[in-house]
Structure 1
Amino acid sequence: MTQTGQRSTDPQDYQGLPQAIGAMSKRFTDGHVIPVHCHQRDQLLYAASGIMRLQTERRAWVVPPDGAICIPGGTDHTVRMFGPVDMRTLYIDAASVRERPRPLCVIAVSSLLRELILALSEEPMVYEPESRAAQIARLIEIEIAVARELALHVPLPTDPRLQTLCAALMADPSDSRTLDHWSQVSGASARTLARLFDQDLGIGFTEWRQRVRFQSAIESLSRGNPVSIVARNHGYSSPSAFSSAFRKVMGIAPSDVAAD
């Protein structure tokens, strides 16, 4: 453990902190992958810059600018960076905070929550109960509790027939083949595939494919690709149609995640 006032970039040093919330700052290069791991404490992952993709055994999320992902303690996950990522991680003792912990989800980060996260990251790693840092941490608790959830996750299948289909679509989100076409590849009828999507993934085929496309689109936009190119590469005939659908599903505009 580092001394009070000093900062560590080792997550293990944050699991036994005396206060409810600890803030770690760490930078990663484009393409860096943090392998499968978990932590004792809950986490809030936020990127001051860059895009993160987090995956568990059953779901995948993309975390855009002005978004953060809540990860309950003990959840195995990997993280991949798109662009240089200036990450802020809050390690939260769920038993010590007053607000009810969030489930695994991406939340919208308000301007206030962003500034609070950045401010706590500048405070000492260990702080006193009545200190400025402690007051900032309490406000962070409140802001996380009221933050709006963003529908950015993609459920992943367990059924082998769906795994073949889903892996192909994640590799090529622009693929526009229907379930009738996929039935010839997967060995199951279109009706069976539709039922499996509802039962195994909880959403229909069209919605699942759209989420995959938009996750991939966010990653592409973060690398500086024009909206017109991203739209075409993800199965949309026009940038306006893509932008409208993107905003409706993701709650943000493509320009909100485009690289500067």
Structure 2
Amino acid sequence: MRNRKKLKKHVVIAITAAKQIFDNNLGDEYTAYRMALTYGVSRNVLQKAFKDEYGAGIRDYRLRIRMEKSKDLLALGKDAKEVSITLHYSNPSAFNNAFKKYYKVTPKEMFDFTDGDSLSA
């Protein structure tokens, strides 16, 4: 991080811990607000420091992690319903919509194994 030396130690601890939590918990229960409260920093400070450190805002980072995990699960042959449950989406339709918005194709279009191929995104 370019500005890590300028950040207070508790902010560095907060963004590092938040990243670990976001990487290991794919649901929505861990929000930026909750992380800020837990680590005693303001939400705005946490979000700015996180973006400076990891190159993406918290929301975008979490979405990327979820979409990468969904792609891995689908590649293993899991169906969209199972993936939506694993990733804590409210329902398979919400997952399909998020996937299509992110990758510009549906999970079925990306992983249509009937012709032996899958798209690479």
Length-normalised TM-score, structure 1: 0.36
In the alignment, residue 185 of structure 1 is paired with which amino acid? T
Deviations 1:25-74 (A, max 9, x none): xxxxxxxxxxxxxxxxxxxxxxxxxxxxxxxxxxxxxxxxxxxxxxxxxx
- Between the aligned partners of 2:68 and 2:22, the Cα distance in structure 1 is 12
- Between the aligned partners of 1:253 and 1:172, the Cα distance in structure 2 is 24
- Between the aligned partners of 1:229 and 1:251, the Cα distance in structure 2 is 21
Alignment of 1:54-65 (within 5 A): none
Q: Which runs of 5+ in 2 are unaligned?
A: 1-11, 115-121
The offset of 1:166, in angstroms, is 1.3
Residue 9 of structure 2 aligns with which residue? none
Q: Which runs of 5+ in 1 are unaligned?
A: 1-158
- Between the aligned partners of 2:85 and 2:113, the Cα distance in structure 1 is 18
- 1:199 lines up with 2:52 in the alignment: yes
Q: 1:258 to 1:197 in 2, by over 3 A?
A: farther
Q: 1:186 to 1:162 in 2, by over 3 A?
A: same
Asked which structure has the greater CA Rg, the reply is 1
- Between the aligned partners of 1:174 and 1:258, the Cα distance in structure 2 is 26
- Between the aligned partners of 1:215 and 1:186, the Cα distance in structure 2 is 27
In the alignment, residue 257 of structure 1 is paired with which amino acid? F
- 1:214 lines up with 2:67 in the alignment: yes
Deviations 1:80-128 (A, max 9, x none): xxxxxxxxxxxxxxxxxxxxxxxxxxxxxxxxxxxxxxxxxxxxxxxxx
- Between the aligned partners of 1:259 and 1:189, the Cα distance in structure 2 is 47
Residue 184 of structure 1 aligns with which residue? 37
SS in 1 for 2:65: helix
- Could you tell me the percent identity over the aligned residues? 24
Q: 1:258 to 1:220 in 2, by over 3 A?
A: farther
| Greater fraction helix | 2
Partners of 1:221 and 1:259 within 8 A in 2: no
> Which among 57, 64, 77 is matched to residue 224 of structure 1?
77
- 1:257 lines up with 2:75 in the alignment: no
Aligned residues: 102
> Which among 232, 236, 244 is matched to residue 97 of structure 2?
244
In the alignment, residue 171 of structure 1 is paired with which amino acid? N
In the alignment, residue 205 of structure 1 is paired with which amino acid? I
In the alignment, residue 206 of structure 1 is paired with which amino acid? R
- Between the aligned partners of 2:21 and 2:98, the Cα distance in structure 1 is 22
- Between the aligned partners of 1:192 and 1:165, the Cα distance in structure 2 is 13
| Greater fraction strand | 1
In the alignment, residue 100 of structure 2 is paired with which amino acid? R
In the alignment, residue 87 of structure 2 is paired with which amino acid? H
The offset of 1:195, in angstroms, is 1.2
- Between the aligned partners of 1:245 and 1:161, the Cα distance in structure 2 is 28
The offset of 1:258, in angstroms, is 6.5
Report the RMSD for the aligned CA atoms in angstroms.
2.1
Partners of 1:232 and 1:238 within 8 A in 2: yes
- Between the aligned partners of 2:63 and 2:112, the Cα distance in structure 1 is 19
Q: 1:235 to 1:185 in 2, by over 3 A?
A: same
